[in-house]
Each structure stands twice: as structure tokens, then as C-alpha cells.
Structure 1
Amino acid sequence: MHKLLLILSLLPAIALAKPPIDDETSCKDMPFFKHHSPENGEEEPLPRFLHQLDLSETQKTQIKSLFKAQRAEIDAKLNEAKSIGKEIHQLSFSSDYSNVKVQALLDKAAISHKAIALQKSRLDNALFKLLTDEQQKQLQSRFED
């Protein structure tokens, strides 16, 4: 009986220990790059895998401009994939459900995800080509580890 009273008395404390996140701090409708973008006009951050390389200021500028150039295209593709996911979810919980419709949406999602992966691969290769031979070898050895 004492254990039950103790557990019941702790429930409000547990519920208040981690309050729910407000909608304004949620990232559910935020584009991919917005999660990683600086706030308050700060400088654009470099990808983490480049942090330990000794990059010149020119390289840093070129890398940041590559990200800015690709941002809109990648965000559009991610939003498309997200909307397909919403369609699948809505169809799953509707009376209009059919395996054929879900399969068509899954095929569409696969094409969208493939396009995102291809775009990211192109961006990574463009970043790689901006590095010196020594930096490329350093990066390749880090990926091998």
C-alpha cells in the first residue's frame, strides 16, 4: 500500500519533469536547412565532416556558396517527400484505402528520395573537389576509420 501511495505521489513530478515542447520551437514544418542554419544573421556553418580540415578562407566561402545555391532545390525535394508521406498517412486512415494507391505513392516517394540522395551526392562531390589533394586524403582517411 505504501509503495502504491509513493508511486501515485511521484506521478505529478514525473509529468512536470519534461514539459511538452511549444509549437514555436518545434521543427515539424521547418525546412531541412533551417534546422542547421545560423540565427540572428550569424555566418553559415560548415558541415561537421570538414571541421578538422585546415580550410582556407576562399575554400570556406566557396563551400558556403555551394550550400546556399543548393538549399532551395534540396528543400523543395524534401518538402515533396514530406507531402507524399502525409498522403500515405492520410490514405492509411481513410475508407478509400487500397494497396494499389499506397504502392503508387510509395513509388513516388522512392523517386523523390532517390532525387534527394542524388542531389546530396552531387553536393558532397562538389565540396570534395574544392579541397586540396592533401585535404582530400585526410577526409578519405577519416571516412575509412
Structure 2
Amino acid sequence: MQFTFDTILFLISSAFVAGGIDALAGGGGLVTIPALMAAGIPPVSALATNKLQSTIGTSSAFLTFLRAGHVDIRQFVLPAIGAFLGALAGATVVQFVNPIFLSAIVPLLLIGMAAYFLLAPPLSGEDRHARLGRMGITLCMTSIGFYDGFLVLVRDHF
């Protein structure tokens, strides 16, 4: 697949906008996935490309916060294990889902994520403090891991 200069410029611009959104609030994939698909990249490849850039960005942010002393590793070991196990479960389950269903659900999930980011109330000072205990956070992270693992392996069904 070859891209014109205009397409490359469009993708680079979209990446910078998505990076800015990710840095402020997260959700840059709501920009990159449609941009990649608009450039003619198949949905599965667009999801995989987005996952790679997201992983690099998240890792960079995590290391920055860790070096600054804002992360207590011991507090997040159990939630991290839950996220990993959830991702494994999601990646396993997606192998048994009909590909036609998958091609229909990906746009709906993106619309749902966009609606959440647009309609969610702004964060306040109270939101800085955890409302869930360690087990609640672990369950949330396991669910997010499942969702993430499910979408990462969607490409195997197309």
C-alpha cells in the first residue's frame, strides 16, 4: 500500500492531535483509528497500529510518573495481574466470536467510547481519591484488560 504525500501529512497531523488528546485526557484512539481507516487501512490493521502506538505512549507516561515517585508499585501489582489475566481471557474469547459480528461491533465500541468521553462529567477534587478498594480496582482492571485483549486480537478474524 502506497500513500500520497497528502495522506501521510493527514496521518501525521492526526497522530499529533491524538497525542495531545491522550496527554490531556486519554482517548486519542478516537482520532487515530478513524484517520487510519479514512486513509484506506483495513479496520484490523488500524486497530493493531493504534494498539502499538498506545502501548508506547502509555509505557512512556508510566515510566515518567514512576521516575517522579508518583507510583507505588506495590499498590498496583494485583490490579496489573488482573489486567494481564483479563487481556488473556479477552484474547481467548475473541477467537470464538463470529467475524461478521466483530466487524459490526468495532464501530459501535468506538462510538460508545466517544460518547463516554463527551458526556462524562468533569473530574473534581474528590475524584483524586480512590473510591474503590483494592479488589474493586482489580476487578475494573481485569474488565478493561478483557476489553483490550478482545480488541487486540480482532485482527485474527478478518
Query: After TM superposition, is the score higher than 0.5?
Result: no
TM-score tier by shorter-chain length is 0.3 to 0.5
TM-score in terms of structure 1 length: 0.32
More RCO (CA 8 Å, sep 6+): 2
Instruction: Output the TM-score relative to the length of structure 2.
Output: 0.30
Considering only CA atoms, is the larger Rg found in Structure 1 or Structure 2?
A: 1
